[in-house]
Amino acid sequence: MTLLVYGAYGYTGELVARELVDRGRDPVLAGRNDAKLGRVGTRLGCETRAFPVDRVAAHLDGVDVVLNCAGPFVETAEPMARACLAAGADYLDVTGEIPVFESLARRDDEASEAGVTLLPGVGFDVVPTDCLAAHLADRLPDATHLALGFEPHGGLSPGTAATAVGQFGEGGAVRRDGRLLSVPPGHRERRIDFGNGARSAVTFPWGDVSTAYRSTGIPNVEVYVPVPTAARRALRAARYLRPVLGAEPVQDVLQALVRRFVDGPDAAEREAGRAFVWGEARNEDTGETAVSRLVTPETYAFTVGAASTAAERALDGDAPAGYQTPSTAYGADFVTDLDGVTRTDD
């Protein structure tokens, strides 16, 4: 069985590829830049295939599983998934982008018929929150509302920063009565103890707004991240700046700044960092609530472990056909089986 890692010379892609090699796997490394790919192929001793994403169909010979680490995924997921469906290869990625989850979910029937797994979001986005959502739905099966959130400690990588900048112009999103709803950025605020002391937090358009509904059927979903007071004020201002932040010339400048100033966390930061994940299921009619929390490794360290494990399971033939979320594919305890993760129930 052969695994192809696309985006293998990016910050996340190389870490994942290295981890897979350390686990005794022999991934084929791929990406659009021949020279950068050649260097990582030499470092890791792996076969390489250089091609742009729109030529992927011609390069999946003998490939059984694709793990896409090349984001923003709004640009790469669709052509890659389409080629996987045609070739009968499973498709996994580390996206957190709501439009990507939604567009892959629309291919559920096609994937089931082809016997192919479409499993986006196998990184920190959205494995911990998705598995916590499934765990909370088990604890409170008649929940009507789900709130999720996380407090990361550690740095940002260039790709994540660029993806976040790209989303500035999009505003916020929540799920209400089963439907995705656009809302202003940070439209709701509340105090939350993510597991590291109470913090002021605001709603954030995290992937679970798409995925948690499919994992649990709970029709109202919001995701929160903690933000300091100054940032909350900036967020309120961003409601008015949104059209400006989304404009192409402004995006070009922001993306250039990201490329220049943002490096990913180094090995020591990945080792030392932690993330606190919180979830609350609530039944609005009875007032019953259930709260659970996770402590995980630093977000990129977590992503490397989770994405490698999911890709290995797919390689070993353990991946259900059709569109999947991490918890529909591998259950609520997928996250607690990963290294360095603990879960507590209130």
Q: How far is the CB of 122 from ligand NAP (least distance, A)?
A: 7
**What number of CA atoms fall less than 13 Å from residue 211's CA on the CB side?**
35
Please say whether the beta carbons of 277 and 270 come within 8 A: no
| Nearest approach, Cβ of residue 174 and ligand NAP (Å) | 20
Which is nearer to ligand NAP, 41 or 290 (by Cβ)? 41
**Cβ of residue 71: shortest distance to ligand NAP, in angstroms?**
2
| Interface contacts to ligand NAP, rule CB under 6 A | 7, 9-13, 31-33, 53, 69-73, 75-76, 94, 96, 123-125, 157-160, 163, 264, 299-300, 303
Given the complex with ligand NAP, which of 163 and 220 has the nearer CB atom? 163
**Measured from the CB of residue 219, what is the shortest distance to ligand NAP in angstroms?**
25
What minimum distance in Å lies between the beta carbon of 164 and ligand NAP? 7
> Shortest Cβ distance from residue 200 to ligand NAP (Å)?
23
For residue 164 the two structure tokens come to: 């976040």
Task: Determine contact, residues 258/251, Cβ cutoff 8 Å.
Answer: no
Pick the closest to residue 71 from 24, 25, 122 (CA basis): 122
3-state secondary structure of 4: strand
What is 253-313 written as a DSSP string? HHHHHHHHH-----HHHHHH-EEEEEEEEE-TTT--EEEEEEEEE-HHHHHHHHHHHHHHH
Q: How far is the CB of 28 from ligand NAP (least distance, A)?
A: 15
Q: How far apart are CA 5 and CA 63, in angstroms?
A: 10
State the Cα–Cα distance between residues 169 and 245, nearest whole angstrom. 5
- Which CB sits closer to ligand NAP, 290 or 314? 314
**Minimum CB–partner distance for residue 286 and ligand NAP (Å):** 34
Q: Which is nearer to ligand NAP, 69 or 218 (CB)?
A: 69
Q: Specify the residue, 158 or 185, whose C-beta has the smaller distance to ligand NAP.
A: 158
The C-alpha atoms of residue 18 and residue 282 are separated, in whole angstroms, by 41
Nearer to ligand NAP, 160 or 309 (CB): 160
Contact 23, 308 (CB under 8 A): yes
Nearer CB in complex with ligand NAP: 220/296:
296
Minimal CA–CA distance to 9: which of 53, 41, 47, 57? 41
> Is the CB of 33 or the CB of 182 nearer to ligand NAP?
33
d(CA 37, CA 19): 17
Nearest residue to the partner ligand NAP, using Cβ? 159
> How many other C-beta atoms lie within 10 A of the C-beta of residue 11?
19
Closest by Cα among 87, 97, 68 to 5: 68
For ligand NAP, give the closer residue by CB, 12 or 117: 12
Cα Rg of the chain (Å, integer): 19
Give the amino acid at 25: R
